[in-house]
Amino acid sequence: MIRVRACAWDDLVGQKRAATYLRRAAEGDAVSHAYLFVGPTGTGKKTAARALACALFCDDGACGSCGTCRRIRSATHPDFHLVAPEGVTYVVSQIHDVIHDVNLKPIEAPRKVYVLESVDRFNDASANAFLKTLEEPPGDVVIILLAGDFDDVLPTIASRCQVVRFSPVAPSTARALVVERTGASEDEARAALAAAGQVMPRAIDFLNSTGRRNARAAIMAILKRLIVMDGHDVLVAARELLTAVRAPVEEMKGAQAEEAEEAREYLSKGVAARMEKRHKRELTAYERDGITEILSVTESWLRDCLVMSRDMPELVNNIDTADATAEVAAVISVPAALRALECVRTARERIAYNVSPQLVVEAMLFDIQEVLRCPR
Ligand SMILES: [Zn+2]
């Protein structure tokens, strides 16, 4: 029986039930060949998959700090595979590659772990190609599928897995954990969670990133003066804002270069190529997340105006801008605040449809300005 120490599982916060279930399976050598982890973004599905791999690979009981555990965490261990759809959906050729790989022997570890993200993005053809492997992988393989919502996963896939559910963390718990992990104040944690769409790990990353905090400061500065800005001001501000949003992407490039440098010694060609692919994917996602974050900050600020206008200051998320919020709250009507919030929703949709971020932000600022100027 493997003794599992706490460390790698420590990263999995606020998910006691899932963690206990998986640790018991690992300790009792009763790990299933296929899992489906289901839960909203930021609830720790990927972290749990890593912890489980640590429990299976690490000689020191998922210590979280040895070379094996560190390489699992950075997805550079040759027997730990993180797979994401290469296109809008998983395509058959990608699934064939995975199946081919699954049937190879482990390189270092006693077993191999495959983590497939966003499995709600299988289509019928790629799902059919995968079913047999999912049902009966080689004995040394564990397949972990991740999805946001159980109902979006094809039943043929879901029925072949043990389902583990990850639940949203209560706001007060999330705040306490952010404070504990970053040393931020309660108010800062609240603002960070609002910027991060209430996703706790993102809020923690936000507080640790000077660039992202600067981007938040930039949009707040614009919102505070938006009502008095002329058209030219708005365009210039939008351009500067986008520059601020892109700065953290450069930070991330630096971190990736460090990771690649550190990993160079022990990486095989195949794993290095995979890491490079992952880095590219991460950069694209990170840039998009930066824009999304700006929209979330805007939304939370407008919500603050709304709750202040209803005299519910305890619901304000951005205490640092409370003065400006109060000024708007004094004049804005509920329908106008809702109209302003609608502008942010439209911007989100445009980003999802790949409209240029510059155009989206400009249009959103002009739309919100119009509402703020006629706040009835
Ligand atoms: Zn270890």
Structure confidence by residue, pLDDT tens digits, 181-239: 899 999 999 999 999 998 888 899 899 999 999 999 999 999 999 999 999 999 999 99
* Nearest Cα to Cα of residue 129 among 103, 84, 163, 99: 99
Q: Say whether 66 sits in a helix, a strand or coil.
A: coil
Question: CB-based contacts of 95: which residues, under 8 Å, 6+ apart?
Answer: 126, 129, 130
Ligand 1 centre distance from Cα of residue 68 (Å): 6
What DSSP assignment string belongs to 139-170? Answer: TTEEEEEEES-GGGS-HHHHTTSEEEE-PPPP
Tokens of 316: 């304000």
pLDDT of 99 above 50: yes
Ligand 1 centre distance from Cα of residue 45 (Å): 19
pLDDT in tens, 327-344: 999 999 999 999 999 999
* 326 burial type by CB count under 10 A (0-12 exposed, 13-18 middle, 19+ buried): middle
Ligand 1 centre distance from Cα of residue 7 (Å): 9
Percent of the chain at pLDDT above 70? 98
Please tell me the predicted confidence (pLDDT) of residue 5: 43
Q: Say whether 115 sits in a helix, a strand or coil.
A: strand
Ligand 1 centre distance from Cα of residue 178 (Å): 25
Please tell me the predicted confidence (pLDDT) of residue 18: 95
Please tell me the predicted confidence (pLDDT) of residue 262: 76
Q: What is the mean pLDDT of residues 20-37?
A: 94
Please tell me the predicted confidence (pLDDT) of residue 196: 93
Ligand 1 centre distance from Cα of residue 42 (Å): 24
Ligand 1 centre distance from Cα of residue 5 (Å): 10
Dist CA 22 CA 287 (whole Å): 33
Ligand 1 centre distance from Cα of residue 56 (Å): 10
At residue 210's C-alpha, the angle toward residues 204 and 213, to 5°, is 70
Q: What is the mean pLDDT of residues 44-68?
A: 93
List the single range of 14-23, 189-198, 263-272, 281-290 with lowest mean pLDDT.
Answer: 263-272
Residue identified by tokens 């899932």 is: 18
Please tell me the predicted confidence (pLDDT) of residue 286: 84
* Nearest Cα to Cα of residue 302 among 316, 288, 289: 316
Ligand 1 centre distance from Cα of residue 143 (Å): 20
Ligand 1 centre distance from Cα of residue 29 (Å): 17
More confident residue, 312 or 282: 312
pLDDT of 60 above 60: yes
User: Are the CB atoms for 346 and 364 separated by under 8 Å?
Assistant: yes
Ligand 1 centre distance from Cα of residue 60 (Å): 5
Question: CB-based contacts of 21: which residues, under 8 Å, 6+ apart?
Answer: 164
Ligand 1 centre distance from Cα of residue 53 (Å): 10
More confident residue, 116 or 254: 116
DSSP 176: H
Banded pLDDT at 8 (limits 50, 70, 90): confident
More confident residue, 262 or 3: 262
Tell me the range of 69-83, 106-120, 246-260, 264-278 where mean pLDDT is highest: 106-120
β-sheet bridge partners, residue 311: none
Dist CA 282 CA 268 (whole Å): 21
Q: What is the mean pLDDT of residues 137-144?
A: 97
β-sheet bridge partners, residue 80: 113
Question: CB-based contacts of 20: which residues, under 8 Å, 6+ apart?
Answer: none
Please tell me the predicted confidence (pLDDT) of residue 186: 96
Dist CA 211 CA 195 (whole Å): 13
Please tell me the predicted confidence (pLDDT) of residue 189: 97
Percent of the chain at pLDDT above 90? 72
> What is the pTM assigned to this prediction?
0.77
Q: How does the average pLDDT of the chain come out, rounded?
A: 92
More confident residue, 371 or 7: 371
Domains of the chain (ranges; CATH) run 7-165 (3.40.50.300), 209-373 (no CATH)
Please tell me the predicted confidence (pLDDT) of residue 3: 44
Banded pLDDT at 116 (limits 50, 70, 90): very high
Banded pLDDT at 345 (limits 50, 70, 90): very high
